[in-house]
Amino acid sequence: MQYGFIIDNRKCIGCHACTVACKSEHDVAIGVNRTWVKQTEKGVYPNTRRVFRVLRCNHCSDAPCVTICPTKALFTRDDGIVDFDNQRCIGCKSCMQACPYDALYIDPDTNTAAKCNYCAHRIDIGLEPACVNVCPEHAIISGDMDDPDTEIAQLLSREQVTVRKAEKGTQPNVFYIDGDEASLNPEATEREEQYIWSQQSAGVGHFAKFAEERMADVDIVKMAMELNGDNDVLKKEMGTTPGKSRQSDKPMKSIEALMRKAEAKRVYDTPDKGILWGWEVSAYVWTKAIAAGAIIVPFIGMLFGWGTPSTTTMLTAGVIGLVFLAATGLLLIKDLDQPMRFAYVLLRPQSRSWLVKGGYAITFFGGFVTLFLLAPYYDWGIITDISLWASALTGIVVAIYTAFLFAQAKGRDFWQSPALILYMMTHSLMAGAAALILVGLVIPENDQWMGFVRIVLLTMLAFNLVVTFGELSITHPTSAAKKVADMIVKGRYSNKFWFGAILFGNIIPIAMLSIPALQMLWPVAAVIALVGIYLSESIWVEAPQRIQLS
């Protein structure tokens, strides 16, 4: 059994009855929608065409929101419906990052995730979803696609249908008859700040604080000139030029010329949800990099005999690990829209989620580091070595697990890169070495050890440049990932990237560390490197979220 929808765009009139019925059935708050009608306009006035598309959760057979959800708040029923339990939701917003279709939102009344659940409560008693019942044109068809006697199964067998973002491999179960690419593909049109009948640009609930700046007033004169230019192009395509008669005996039909040259424009849509993972996520990636690196760097030095810190420095490294690990936990909790439920990650886990795996890694890492700090005090001997090994190994997981978590966020193409693992590990080693150089200001150390941490920081800074430019210069597999790379290199983040992350955060500390005799500059270089890491993380976290998904 597999329930699904067909949206017959030959019949849809854009009346929004489905949106209203859904809001009424589920008491959906103003400003957010489970089902909405996107309107796209093609052509130049007066030769225009408006296309309507009903958008909602696709109830995917391989739903990434279910995989990434850490608490089983999202789950797939036996009938294929992807449902949710807001009593388990912690408001981490991972599901929203994982959904390629922008179908989820944070309910401003409950601070938990919500979406279309196929009106599961109606299905259970033999009724159809509210949107199906209310549609005046029977443009929305629901039912069991595995039952050949149902209308939806028969339509699927004889009509040509399309789905949204089939390349994501999610196996969506919402199909469109007469699907229009400009309407179904979010990259074909730009999201506006405001639409007709819509004043929701300030955001709703969680997203209000992340609202974009409103668009400047439209320059009417410029717009008129652009429209006139478009009309000239259209006339040339049709076989006429401004001020001249028709050039061809068999001119192209006006609608053909119009559709050939017309650029689609999005004229109505739901409000932008803004940046879902803000500075808290960037900061927690930064703090956990310091926490893990403070243990991993001295472990590597002692393991290969490249540098051995004093006992005091080693214990201080353990304290740094715990302090920044605690900061990581606090930042994670602060980012939740239901912070009082943070323990659900460990107590009600969904084992496939890397948020859960990371939560356990952080817990074990903190436990092993604590054991390492206690062992000398109680003279436990071999426990010191065992706990150090365990701390270092779990520290590696803590350093890189976010790369796997981001990879589960299938809605963000830029995060799907394997290089993200190297990126996270490099930053952890950089942060650990920088922190230990600063420790050397207050705890006297031998030259071998200080030389080792300098080499680690210098090497990782150089390697970070290689990884960064390698990631940005490769041929990206999707246009969305390429747009993010362009946004970083030459778009809205270019100044922060080139002057902040690269010049200030990498090249300047490399220059300071390259001269061994200038040891008094090493702490300055360490501080600058730490700032550079945060700037890089904030760009990498925020920029991919600028790409629209619906």
Give first-to-last CA distance, the chain, whole Å.
28
For position 244, what pLDDT does the model report?
A: 39
Ordered by where they begin, the domains of the chain are 3-210 (3.30.70.20), 279-546 (1.20.1630.10)
The b-or-e profile of 455-474 (16+ CB within 10 A means b, else e) is bbbbbbbeebbebbeebbee
For position 243, what pLDDT does the model report?
A: 39
For position 190, what pLDDT does the model report?
A: 81
Rama region for 50: left / alpha / beta (φ>0; ψ in -120 to 50; rest): beta
Residue 106 CA to residue 91 CA, distance in Å, equals 7
Residue 33 CA to residue 202 CA, distance in Å, equals 16
For position 206, what pLDDT does the model report?
A: 56
* Amino acid sitting at position 458: L
Cα atoms in the 13 Å half-sphere on the side-chain side of 137: 13
Q: Which residues of the chain have pLDDT under 70?
A: 193-262
For position 181, what pLDDT does the model report?
A: 85
Residue/partner pairs of 182-185 with CB below 8 Å, 24 or more apart: 182/40, 182/42, 182/51, 182/264, 183/38, 183/40, 183/51, 183/52, 183/53, 183/264, 184/53
For position 207, what pLDDT does the model report?
A: 54
For position 262, what pLDDT does the model report?
A: 56
- Between the alpha carbon of residue 71 and those of residues 67, 104, 341, the distances in Å are 10, 16, 10
For position 203, what pLDDT does the model report?
A: 52
Residue 406 CA to residue 94 CA, distance in Å, equals 9
